[in-house]
Amino acid sequence: MRRPNLGRLLTTEETARRLRVDPSTVRRWRRDGVGPRHLKMGSVYRYPANELEAWIAASMGRRVAS
């Protein structure tokens, strides 16, 4: 079986800093299923950097409801 190349794994706080939002926002997005793809390892969540970049690219130009 071939393992996916996940690249660098970011914490919730690192992901929030990258997106310039509060970590609670990233947690809420994760809970609501609208944020970047993530991994859960035990009780720890990690965000593959390449998945985060893909999520940002896919979100560009999309209107966000206020």
Condensed to tens digits (0 to 9), the pLDDT of residues 6-44 reads 789 999 999 999 999 999 999 999 999 999 999 999 999
Report if residue 64 sits inside a domain. no
Report if residue 66 sits inside a domain. no
Nearest to 18 by CA among 39, 36, 3: 36
Count CB neighbours of 13 within 10 A: 11
Report if residue 48 sits inside a domain. yes
Report if residue 17 sits inside a domain. yes
Q: What pLDDT is recorded for position 7?
A: 82
Report if residue 1 sits inside a domain. no
**What is the separation of C-alpha 41 from the centre of its chain, rounded to a whole number of angstroms?**
15
Range of the domain at 30: 9-59
Nearest to 10 by CA among 50, 62, 64: 50
Structural domain tally of the chain? 1
Would you say 52 and 11 are in contact if contact means Cβ atoms under 8 Å apart?
A: no
